[in-house]
Structure 1
Amino acid sequence: MKFNSDLLWSFYLIAAAVLFFSFGNFIGSSQTEKELSCQLKRSEEKIQILNRENQQLSEQLTSRGIYSYPQAGIISAEEEDQVTLLLMLNGQKALKDLVVKRSMLPGYSLLKGSEAKETMLSQKITYLGSLKPHTPAAFEMPLKQKEAAIEFIFKSGKKQWKQILRVRQNDKGEIFSFWVITNGNDLVIDKHVDKGFPMEKDGSILLWEDRKVRYSEIEMNSVFRF
């Protein structure tokens, strides 16, 4: 009887362990499903927010008479001496037969504006065809002196836009940018400066050695020439 009772007790222990393990898996599975459900819900909320923001942007562009325009921005710098720029469409109306002329000049802070315009490097013309929403194009450009002045001229039919960028890299290797976009009449339609972009002591942004500008003073629909 001693043997049988020990065997029976062992069986109870094993059965209890199996039940405990199965119950733990059930709880863990339920928690995983709940976490996954929460993640999906958060993703859906983010998508809804992005859709609303995109719709609001389209409405703002329409109300301002801008409709659609191209915009270049920095997305990465995988190598120390290169920077990648992403060209995308702001708005919903595709730009057909888009032609892009891009120029670059390193070490712009040591050059005067009149000198710089005569020595802009890497002038390249690209025929992109149609630029549509959610179908961006990417360009790689050199960044050898931890700073560069970049200029884009966009043409689509009779419409033209210009975008200037100032790209600077700090000692940690982080890259920051400032840019302004104007239409064919040199009127500002968009602007941006990264948080942390190196400013002058007076809080201004250096365009060339002999020209500075305050970001807050760049007004929409005002004339801005580079």
Structure 2
Amino acid sequence: MRRLFDEELADLDTSFKEMGLLVSETIQRSVQAFLDHNRQGAQEIIDGDQAINQREIALEKKSFEMIALYQPVTTDLREIVTILKAVSVVERIGDNARNIALSTIHVKGNQRVAEIEKQIGETGTLVAKMVADVLTYYISDDAMGANSMSSVSHQVAKDTRSIRDMAIDAMKANPETVEAATDYLVVAGYLKRTSDYVTDIAEWIIYKRTGKIVELNPGTSSFI
């Protein structure tokens, strides 16, 4: 029975990481599609969102089945609960990627601002790396690495505030940039929320490793 449980738990871990890596790649692709004005690429991301949702449903179903069948306790139960909690957060990150893609489809402004788009691209890359890194910390059971996500999240908060300030300045300087600048604000907001979600996953990793509930992102959940 123990061998079967360990095998199924390993499969659950693998499936969770595969879903997370898919979402990390999707975030990066959605930001790039926005910057490239690539509506076709954005539509592909929107169409692919259902596959991410299906992965979440499958992982949740498997988690509940394992709890019911094996009735795990202590460390084993914490590991399954961590996946159960984290998978829903990963799905919300996928929703943010889809929403960025929707912004790409709907964007109307022609007056683009290269400096702001450069910052969005860099921030998007950082956020995608956060997602990939936190999954690595999950697999390696690295509570210290998970804790480091807090400082990266603060950097994302700083970057998105910079995007906000630049977008406001652009609108003041040239009213024709208003539509584009509004889109920049929307995308920056999705990136900020994604970094907040990553710290949520990191908190569950620490719980998995130590059994303690921690707060890694106090007072920084607001985009503004």
Task: Give the TM-score band, short-chain normalised.
Answer: under 0.3
Q: Which structure dedicates a bigger proportion of its chain to helix? A: 2
Give the number of the structure whose alpha-carbon radius of gyration is greater. Answer: 1
Q: Which structure dedicates a bigger proportion of its chain to strand? A: 1
